[in-house]
Amino acid sequence: MSLLRLCAFAKCLSRRSLFEKCAVRESVVDCCRLCLSVRNGTVRRISETPLQLQRSNTFVIPKAKDAKKRVLEQSQLLDVLDARIQQLRSDVIIDVQQAKVQFVPSYGRVSSGSGPKSAPHEKADIPKSEQTIGKGISKFHSSHRTEKLTQEKKKKLQKVKNVKEKPVAKSISSKSNSQLLGTTYKKISTTAEKTAPSMKKSKGRVRVSDEIRAAMSSIATTTAATTAAETAATSHKVPKRKLNVLNFKKKDSKNRVPGEKGKKPVVVDVQDRHRELPEAKKQQEERLFQQASQLMSSRPEHLQDRSEESAYGDTQACIRSYLQALVFVGYTERAHRFLLSQHRLMGRRKYLNTDIYNILMRVWAKKGTLNQIGRLFTVLEQANLKPNLGSYCAVLECMGRNPSCSPRAITRCLTRMEEDGLSVDNLFSQFVFRQDERDMVLKAIRTVKPDYQPSPNLTTSQCTSPLVQDYYAQRENHQYPKLNFTKEELQERFKQQLRMERACTVTIDSVETTKPVTENMMKMRELLEKMKAQWEEILLQALKETKMILAKTKSRDYKHNLYPYLCLLENREYVDIMIQSVAKLPPTGEALKILARELGNRVYTKYCVRQKQKNQMVEKLGNIYNAFTDVLAKDTKVYNVLPREHWCKLETEACSGPTLQEDENQWPYVVSLELGTCMVDIIVKNLKINSDILNPAHDRKFIPILYHMYTFRNTRQVGFIKPHPILTQMLQEAMGIKLTFDSFVIPMLCPPVPWTSARFGAYLLTPTKLMRSLDGATQHEVLLDKCQNLDAVLDSLNHLSNCAWRINKTILDIIISIFNDNGCDKLGIPPPMSVAPKIPHFNPHEPTYTSSEIARMKKEMITAKKKCSEMHSLRMDSLYKLSIANYMRDEIFWFPHNMDFRGRTYPCPPHFNHLGSDVTRAILLFAEGKPLGPKGLDWLKIHLVNLTGLKKRSSLQGRLEYANTIMEDILDSADNPLNGKKWWMNADEPWQALSCCMEIANAVRSPNPTQFISHYPVHQDGSCNGLQHYAALGRDVIGATSVNLVPCDEPQDVYSGVAQQVEELRACDAVNGVKIAQVLKGFINRKVVKQTVMTVVYGVTRYGGRLQIEKRLKEIDEFPEEHVWDASHYLVRLVFNGLKEMFTGTREIQDWLTESAKLISKAGHTVEWVTPLGLPIIQPYHRTRTQVLKSTIQRINLQISHDTKERPDTVKQKNAFPPNFIHSLDSTHMMLTALHCYSAGLTFVSVHDCFWTHALTVDAMNKVCREQFVTLHSQPILKELSDFMINKYCRVISDETKKKKCQEYMKLLMVLTRVPSTGDFDLQQVKESTYFFS
């Protein structure tokens, strides 16, 4: 029974009762007026009598003959109805009397008799003064129903007291897809005093949706007939009115912040907590608490950021990506319905933020449909979200596209922007425009402000890190290097790279094509080409059918569908991606999850490239890049600015048109996986082959070329896609002549775009992340977007990327010849699969086999399968690297760089780069050559000795003398690498040694070696760099001496030192009769302990160290295999004990870092810190949760360990913090060295803690390297880390913290405050240490 009927029914039961109780009657009439206002969508005065009101609502009075009976029944309900009226009056009339609320009318007319269900009434605190309305009103007679209603009302009021005031929304289903939900807003004020000023304030504030509707009316005369009709209908349904905001408090941020409502963190004074400690502990900890109190009182409050992006994770990202896909393919109406369906469902609405609504606003803005934007603003207000820059940009753009838009409407929009704290200048400097959006917005603004000019967004912010303040402020002596190319040459290279990235794929010749072509190879190639053509047509038809089925699938609007993702590209492009994946499958198969992810990522990459082309970014990118070449080309003037600064300046000057920076996020992992799984399913179900294609004797039948099967990885069952043996055999015998790669796999043909922000840099069109992360992890992107001081980090990445490379053709040809001639394991060139061991097959149920024989054969089969899998993986890896190198043999190329979450840098091309193996490094040379100079030849010889692994403990002079004694072998290796003495093959790094031999031979035989132009990169490697950082942090004299921080005449080899110490302990144990110590006599050397010593500082455990030593012992042929287990256990204990004695300061710092991370993660936080260069770092280790992805082929269990809603993984957090922290320091040292080498005009490249440069500039680079290490560690790194974590994790705790939690908090505070003490080592000695890097 509707509220209207209820009120009318109560008045019509007894006219006598109504007249005797005048006050009650008037209240009821007021209540009915309010109901009519809600139903009819307007506030109007009701002057009818109760009888007229009864007639107007089609209420029929029964005839007199039945009146007596019905009056008796009605009188029994009177008390209940009167009580109900009183309850309703307390809910509604107070609003009318105190707040004078104006209601937002519903879209569409709703009759009183058949209205939809109302939304629940608002819960709000009602003051006592308002709980009794009107004095002298007669009390209704009590009844058990009245008492029941009274109790319900009391319970309701009690619950309301703990709930924040919320607007009431009445959701009414619209008849058309474009109509929105009608929502009624009301506000109950808590005091009369607060209501008046709120009402005064509301008089001057108009809703944005009303402003837009006002603008619509001014445009209606010039718009199309359909748009005019729709606008008129909307204007009729939604009259212009003011929104009475009263005391409604909107959130400050544009998005909702998840968490408990109404609770605020309470700052707890350290001194108050200190008083709760036992008396015995106070004196010991007084100093620590005083220090912590000073820190927390002097620094701003740091809260654990729980942004909506992290809280709602993949769900919100899935909604955004789905909407963007729909919009991209032109399904605007479907996108609009999907957004409204998400909005209608309260359970889904929480995932929506303003940016998601803006996606549709931008679409309607381009269509010039202002009324649709107005509706979306209404929906935005219903969702209790604030418009942001993107929202107002859509409105202004739409107004700019309508020539007849009223200037008054534009002015009102700009005024509302200012009221919301948004400025027009920020709109132009911060918003990411597409196509002509910026021009349209500027056109609208200049309608009311003709002289307006957006303020230039010049990035002149000074870097706040003290490490680089002088670097950016004092540039008088900087000599930024130029590339050895003219401006015209660089522009032509840009065009080549752009063509390659537009195509998204590159097809190159395989190096196996140099093999002699046999008849069988030719036959297999012809068969594969024929089948490939057939498969393309089959897949094309299957894809069309799949899309047709998905398009016709009737699902609710709020559910996702893969259909738009399958429409982003041309059908042929999807087919090409699927065919490529089939050709690259290994014989042992690939996990479905990995294969599906790769397919999905390839589609995403092509989609991003198409998106940039659609947004008209390519032309603008070309114009800016052509001007950018001025700072790099050799035939232009010298600039005293960095490449990033010059690019930003050019982009600011070319402000018109689209913004180059991306505003779209990576697809969620589940979206890529689901799309890829769908494509795999199409392949498996449709691609078939004749069973007799290789053996005509077999019966002909069509069999699938791929099989979906299950296998076990550890204890988990994993879905696998495995090729049929027939397909595998054909691919191996054909030795395909072509290889197809994604464009980002190939090195760039032009200098990369400089990184200017966390979202723009590296490739021209291919999407690239600044910081690599796990699939689906977004914590790093959130931190980077908030960080304002990344200039030094970005500039260092740009300097690494600007190094040009070329191919060493002589070395490449020798390697390819060995690769095609069955390879060579000793030289790191894997053999072909033809020499792989045959996998034995047997029937385990054969009764003639004994159990021991079955076990042995199973073990042999498993071993053979593993060996085959490893051989195929290594062979294909080498094939890809060599084929790419051969493709680039006549080119100059560049490697764009990015970094991992610790700040360590990596080249973006995954296969062929200078971080690869010995083979890959030997192929690479600097494109720019420099004369050797007076000491360059000596550095080449020293570098050659370093590559051999000999003379590790010899001085530089000793190594040089040794090189001079073996010059005959060096020259023989250069002249006859495969037919001579083959001295180079015994080196630790044989291919780099051979390349160096050839460089030395060319230099020696030149007329003047000092003028010989060398392209060879000389390496300077840190001496156990992790221990160097630990020793510097702890100022540990003994540790510093062991890792060459102290000047010495000869280098100190920490690995040899540990091996010597272990040998001494072993000898003592052997004398005492320890059997395993006696067995190890003569087998302990540097190589056995090196890996364990090197990785101890990076968190290796005793278990991991034992495995490392076990592997080294197995490599020694003479060592008895039966003693490997006991020997590895014995040695790992000695190695750890020896390191503990040698590096006492290191162990103390490591323990402090581990304990801090343990307590932080136990408190529910992930470990965060900021590097000395200002790079924010967070460890993305959370407890693993399982998410099941349903697909047609199988259910995929996803193990997600980066979900921020899960608690941190304490074990991973504490074990990873020490090595990750040290990695962040060595990356900082590398970045500082890169910056200063660039300003000095040096060529500089790094492989983590191994720095490369020309032989001419080795001494200069070493000087910079040492100075920057001292500068870095002169900062109070551990103290700053302690301060940061105290402010981050110990500043704010909840007022409901339990005693146990309080104790954990105090323990964490004590640990963080107790920074490890330092020793007496003088850092300045590092500047004189020759062997610090050598």
Find the mean pLDDT for residues 1193-1219.
Answer: 87
> Is the pLDDT confidence value at 299 over 80?
no
DSSP annotation string for 853-918: HHHHHHHHHHHHHHHHHHHHHHHHHHHHHHHHHHHTTT--EE--EEE-TTS-EEESSSSSSTTS-H
- pLDDT tens for 1074-1133 read 888 888 888 888 888 888 888 877 777 888 888 989 888 888 888 888 888 989 989 998
- pLDDT tens for 756-800 read 998 899 999 999 999 998 877 888 888 888 887 899 999 999 999
E strand intervals along 912-1050: 924-926, 930-931, 1013-1014, 1017-1021
Q: How confident is the model at residue 231, as a pLDDT?
A: 41
Mean pLDDT of the chain: 78
Q: How confident is the model at residue 1115, as a pLDDT?
A: 86
Task: Judge whether 436 counts as a catalytic residue.
Answer: no
Tell me the two tokens of residue 1186.
């399982």
Across 400-409, 809-818, 1059-1068, 1285-1294, least confident range: 1285-1294
Reported pTM: 0.78
> Is the pLDDT confidence value at 252 over 60?
no
Q: How confident is the model at residue 196, as a pLDDT?
A: 38
- How does residue 69 score in pLDDT terms, banded at 50, 70 and 90? low
Catalytic residue, chosen from 584, 1021, 1087, 1301, is 1021
- How does residue 287 score in pLDDT terms, banded at 50, 70 and 90? low
Catalytic residue, chosen from 386, 593, 881, 1090, is 1090
Strand partners, 1208: 1182
Grouping H, G, I as helix, E, B as strand and the rest as coil, residue 949 is coil
DSSP annotation string for 150-172: HHHHHHHHHHHTTS---------
Q: How confident is the model at residue 94, as a pLDDT?
A: 34
Which is more confidently placed, 253 or 996? Answer: 996
HSE of 918, CA atoms in CB hemisphere, 13 A: 20
Alpha helices in 329-388 (DSSP H): 332-344, 346-349, 354-367, 370-382
Is 289 within 8 Å of 274 (Cβ atoms)? yes
> Is the pLDDT confidence value at 238 over 70?
no
Task: Judge whether 1021 counts as a catalytic residue.
Answer: yes
> Is the pLDDT confidence value at 890 over 90?
yes
Is 403 within 8 Å of 222 (Cβ atoms)? yes
Element housing 1041 (H / E): helix 1037-1042
Which is more confidently placed, 779 or 896? Answer: 896
Tell me the two tokens of residue 927.
């494109």
- C-alpha to C-alpha distance for 997 and 235, rounded to whole angstroms: 84
Across 356-370, 379-393, 501-515, 843-857, least confident range: 843-857
Catalytic residue, chosen from 95, 1226, 1249, 1283, is 1249
Task: Judge whether 1301 counts as a catalytic residue.
Answer: no
Which is more confidently placed, 476 or 867? Answer: 867
Across 204-208, 300-304, 480-484, 660-664, least confident range: 300-304
> Is the pLDDT confidence value at 437 over 80?
yes
Counting residues of the chain whose pLDDT is more than 70, the rounded percentage is: 75
- How does residue 904 score in pLDDT terms, banded at 50, 70 and 90? very high
Measured in degrees and rounded to the nearest 5, phi and psi for residue 627 equal -75, -30
Q: How confident is the model at residue 213, as a pLDDT?
A: 58
Find the mean pLDDT for residues 240-264.
Answer: 36
> Is the pLDDT confidence value at 386 over 60?
yes
Is 929 within 8 Å of 999 (Cβ atoms)? no
Q: How confident is the model at residue 11, as a pLDDT?
A: 43
Please work out, in degrees rounded to the nearest 5, the angle formed at the alpha carbon of residue 316 by the alpha carbons of 313 and 319.
145
- pLDDT tens for 398-417 read 999 988 888 899 999 999 99
- pLDDT tens for 688-726 read 888 878 777 666 788 899 988 888 777 778 888 999 988
Across 24-33, 129-138, 221-230, 1169-1178, least confident range: 129-138
Q: What CA–CA distances, in Å, run from 413 to 60, 357, 367, 540, 1135?
A: 51, 18, 19, 50, 72
- C-alpha to C-alpha distance for 316 and 258, rounded to whole angstroms: 13
Which is more confidently placed, 838 or 267? Answer: 838
Give CA torsion, residues 730, 731, 736, 741, to 10 deg: 150
- pLDDT tens for 80-112 read 455 555 544 444 333 333 333 333 333 333 333
> Is the pLDDT confidence value at 666 over 90?
no
Nearest-Å Rg of the Cα atoms of the chain is 38
Q: What CA–CA distances, in Å, run from 1055 to 220, 1091, 1095, 1195, 1247?
A: 82, 9, 12, 49, 21
Q: How confident is the model at residue 858, as a pLDDT?
A: 86
Across 30-34, 242-246, 532-536, 665-669, least confident range: 242-246
